[in-house]
Amino acid sequence: MERPAWAPRSIDISVPSVSRIYDYYLGGSHNFEVDREAARKAMEFMPGLPKIMQANRAFMRRAVRFAADEGIDQFLDVGSGIPTFGNVHEVAQSANSGARVVYVDHDPVAVAHSQAVLAGNDGAGVVAADLRKPREILASAEVERLIDLNRPVALLLVAILHFVEDADDPYEAVAELRDALAPGSLLVLTHASYEGIPLPAERAEGAVDVYKDIRNPLIMRSREEIARFFEGYDMVEPGLVPPPVWRPQEAPEDEDPYAFSGFAGVGRTA
């Protein structure tokens, strides 16, 4: 298989990756046949998967806009993924040209493509790091250069925590990041769940198994388990809800039923 210029030498292009599968669902071009094969297999069980991803991205954009309207001008996006359309830095910097954005991901393609997209953008940077090691994120040169930890930050954990197993203590990682950020900071979060999926859970499990097979398990948590990530935060209205229900610009009932899968919310520290 030929290796395109955007694929770093370090990656094994015969093994699917969650960020490239996600890129495929979103109609992006940074994916290989192995990724598309895994995505198509998951879609045999849950044909509406791309709708879930689109609703996730639409929520993310509304939440970034909300944060900007609240006067937040620093964004730390962990698990930022492969840039496609309507990325966080574009939304944040169109609302406020002085906004600072740091993308963090542990996937080499996500990091390389983010670097390419951000070339020449002095207000944005990329860190190759792992959410499970929050201190490395906080101590990174790009966070030091772009983020003033004495002022509020919008921390984005959008569609990432469902890739962190309980054994890796995702709650502790989220708490460490919360404690490092100034009061008035926001947590913008989405998470997969069997709740809200317009299918019997046994059917959805088939899609979840695809992620197990590629050794990147997808952890479906209950609403209650997801709400625990907001410990120490006050929920912004309307709370932890299906993505299209969070401050929609249009009537959410017009959405595809799949869009209501999982949960989205924003919290603020006092």
Ligand X SMILES: C[S@@+](CC[C@H](N)C(=O)[O-])C[C@H]1O[C@@H](n2cnc3c(N)ncnc32)[C@H](O)[C@@H]1O
Residues of the shown chain interacting with ligand X in the complex, contacts defined by CB under 6 A: 18-19, 22, 56-57, 60, 79-81, 105-107, 110, 130-132, 158-160, 163-164
Nearer to ligand X, 130 or 225 (CB): 130
Closer to ligand X by CB, 80 or 93: give it.
80
For the four alpha carbons of 2, 114, 48 and 225, in that order, the dihedral sign comes to positive
Q: How far is the CB of 264 from ligand X (least distance, A)?
A: 10
Q: How far is the CB of 1 from ligand X (least distance, A)?
A: 21
**Whose Cβ is closer to ligand X: residue 131's or residue 155's?**
131
Nearest-approach distance from CB 132 to ligand X, in angstroms: 5
Contact 155, 177 (CB under 8 A): yes
Which CB, 146 or 156, lies closer to ligand X? Answer: 156
The vertex-68 CA angle with 262 and 258, nearest 5°, equals 20
8 A C-beta contact, residue 97 and residue 120: no
- The string of DSSP letters for 41-54 reads HHHHH-TTHHHHHH
Per-residue DSSP letter, 168: G
Indicate the residue among 192 and 227 with the shorter CB distance to ligand X: 192
Q: 175-210 burial string, b = 16+ CB within 10 Å, else e?
A: eebbebbeeebbbbbbbbbbbbbebeeeebeebbeb
CB of 162 to ligand X, least distance (A): 8
Complex with ligand X: residue 39 or 60, whichever CB lies closer: 60
Task: Kindly state the DSSP code that residue 102 receives in the 8-state scheme.
Answer: E
Chain position whose Cβ is nearest to ligand X: 81
Query: Minimum Å distance from CB 2 to ligand X?
Result: 23
Q: What CA–CA distances, in Å, run from 139 to 51, 100, 134, 175?
A: 36, 17, 9, 16
Beta carbon of residue 44, minimum distance to ligand X (angstroms, whole number):
19
Output the smallest distance, CB 130 to ligand X, in A.
Answer: 4
Token representation of residue 104:
């963090």
- Compare residues 30 and 270 and give the one whose CB is closer to ligand X: 30
Q: Count the Cβ atoms, other than its own, within 10 Å of residue 136.
A: 15
Backbone phi, then psi, for 243, in 5-degree steps?
Answer: -45, -45
